[in-house]
Amino acid sequence: MVRRPLLARESVMKRIFLCLAALAAFTVAAQAAENGGSPAEQRYSPYSAVVPPCDDPGVLSYVSGRFAQTESEFWSSSLQIGGYDRIHEIGFRSNGLSYIPRRYCIARTQVSDGRMREVIYDIGEDLGLLGYGWGVEWCVVGLDHELAYAPGCGALRPFASRYLGEAALRERY
């Protein structure tokens, strides 16, 4: 029987251990990718996936009020939203179950400058003040002065509609 030196045996054992660790890591990663992560409702601080509909008067009032306030305070403008029509949901939990529940909406609005514009907004659960209640992110196309949601307020759309392009959305809208 030929005895290997101690260093050679340690090297072989180290390689075997590294291979087994890599195999375990790949198995766990493949399973997580297959499942898409756990739904947000099953987390430590679960979500209920209950958010107001797109045409909820409270949501629309919030968007109108914040728009008027932003235009007045930051841009010295008297623009206001007059009313909404063609209100449509363009996605609910469209980014996946493991994300914060959001409802994505689009509407047409009459702005006080006489132009019809699109308003894109999302309503998210527990995104209100201090994480309590629903919160709204909104953007009026053509009036995103800081380009916070550029281009064309597209950052507020679900992932899929961002990559499928405007044609897919316009057919429904």
Beta bridge mates, 124: 102, 135
Are 14 and 98 in the same domain?
no
The span from the first CA to the last CA of the chain, in angstroms, equals 80
Q: What is the mean pLDDT of residues 27-36?
A: 60
Is 167 within a domain? yes
Q: What is the pTM of this model?
A: 0.71
Nearest to 168 by CA among 108, 98, 90, 110: 90
What is the pLDDT, as a whole number, of residue 173?
Answer: 46
CA 24 to chain CA centroid, nearest Å: 32
Instruction: Look at 37 and 88; give whichever has higher pLDDT.
Output: 88
How large a percentage of the chain has pLDDT more than 70?
Answer: 76
Are 65 and 136 in the same domain?
yes
Are 28 and 65 in the same domain?
no
Are 112 and 151 in the same domain?
yes
Quick one: how many helices (H) and strands (E) in the chain? 4, 4
Domain ranges, residue 16:
6-35
Least confident of 19-28, 30-39, 47-56, 135-144: 30-39
Mean pLDDT of the chain: 83
> How are beta strands 116-124 and 135-140 bridged, if at all?
antiparallel
